[in-house]
Amino acid sequence: MIMNQRYAQSPKEVSGLNTADLRANFLLEDLMQDDQFNFTYSHYDRAIVGSVVPVAGELELPNYENLRAEYFLERRELGIINVGGAGAINIDGTTYEVNKLDAVYAGKGSRKVTFKSVSASEPARFYLYSVPAHKEFPHQLIKKEAALPVTIGSGDTANERTIYKYIHLEGAKSCQLVMGLTILSKGSVWNTMPSHVHDRRMEAYFYFDVPEGQVVFHFMGQPQETRHLVVQNNQAIISPPWSIHSGGGTSNYGFIWSMCGENLVYADMDPVAIKDLR
């Protein structure tokens, strides 16, 4: 079995792309399909972005030829967040009950990882993010309540949002994986505004709970050379380390952010003043 791949682009190359090419390189449209694993292997930091929605029964994390590994997590770690109904994840014999917005970390060396839903009529929707790892850290469940939410922004500038950090230097331990999610308050539409870059880490954004008929305009590119992609519910963006990653929605919504690279410090960002964006 072979995973889709996405290659890395330079800032200069991206500045010349049209809408279709931008979408083909940076937008993942096929996530959250029933009874399927959908993975994309990005050449930005070798991060893998994927999903699984178990409806008919329990599904086991498969292996892929791209990895040239005995099993998926032989040399990788995996962060998982459920954005659907109640579910369960089993890692090498330990079962975790994973409710909406709970997370699970599966460390390097986890051999058998399975996913299931409590109810087929309201299945769990697991978002998956995996990166290379050099050391084994214990698998663990991180409940939403334990993620120490912080509310930033304000209703006046339509960017009030609550950030939940699950896996990072001061949270659940990992080799290089950093992961959490952000919920926009009602009436707020702007995420990650003011924008930032972090040339030390790639990032992936997965948008969820975008109401029917609404979209998010996701902005990418170098701060003085921005482009946008229109993103639907349950689609993801691969964000190069040199790119901003901000979104303006036609309503409020939520998104999972996940990063990997040089360090595990959540706050390691280089801010860009709004007036300096082009």
Q: Confirm or deny that 245 is annotated as ligand binding.
A: yes
Q: Confirm or deny that 203 is annotated as ligand binding.
A: yes
Q: Confirm or deny that 139 is annotated as ligand binding.
A: no
Q: Which residues between 153 and 212 bind ligand D54 (CB under 6 A)?
A: 161, 163, 182, 191-192, 203
Quick one: what does residue 175 bind among ligand D54, Zn ion, none, with the CB cut-off 5 to 8 Å set by partner type? none
Phi and psi angles of residue 229, each rounded to the nearest 5 degrees, phi first: -130, 140
Q: Cβ closer to Zn ion: 160 or 203?
A: 203
Half-sphere CA count of 9, side-chain side, radius 13 A: 21
> Binding segment for Zn ion among 3-11, 61-69, 72-80, 202-210 (CB under 5 A)?
202-210
Structure tokens at 45: 């930091």
Q: Which residues between 56 and 115 bind ligand D54 (CB under 6 A)?
A: none
Contact yes or no for 189/158 (Cβ under 8 A): yes
Structure tokens at 124: 């769990």
Quick one: what does residue 227 bind among ligand D54, Zn ion, none, with the CB cut-off 5 to 8 Å set by partner type? none
> Binding segment for Zn ion among 121-129, 133-141, 149-157, 195-203 (CB under 5 A)?
195-203
Q: Cβ closer to ligand D54: 89 or 184?
A: 184
Q: Shortest approach of ligand D54 to residue 174 CB, angstroms?
A: 15
Instruction: Give the C-alpha separation, 72 to 259, whole Å.
Output: 19
Instruction: Give the C-alpha separation, 209 to 206, whole Å.
Output: 10
Contact yes or no for 137/105 (Cβ under 8 A): yes
Quick one: what does residue 163 bind among ligand D54, Zn ion, none, with the CB cut-off 5 to 8 Å set by partner type? ligand D54
Instruction: Give the C-alpha separation, 213 to 232, whole Å.
Output: 9
State yes or no: residue 269 binds ligand D54 (CB under 6 A).
yes
State yes or no: residue 245 binds ligand D54 (CB under 6 A).
yes
Beta strands in 118-253 (DSSP E): 126-132, 140-142, 150-152, 161-167, 178-184, 190-191, 196-197, 201-208, 216-222, 225-231, 236-239, 246-249
Q: Cβ closer to Zn ion: 45 or 203?
A: 203
Binding site for ligand D54 (CB under 6 A): 161, 163, 182, 191-192, 203, 245, 257, 269
List contacts with Zn ion (CB under 5 A): 203
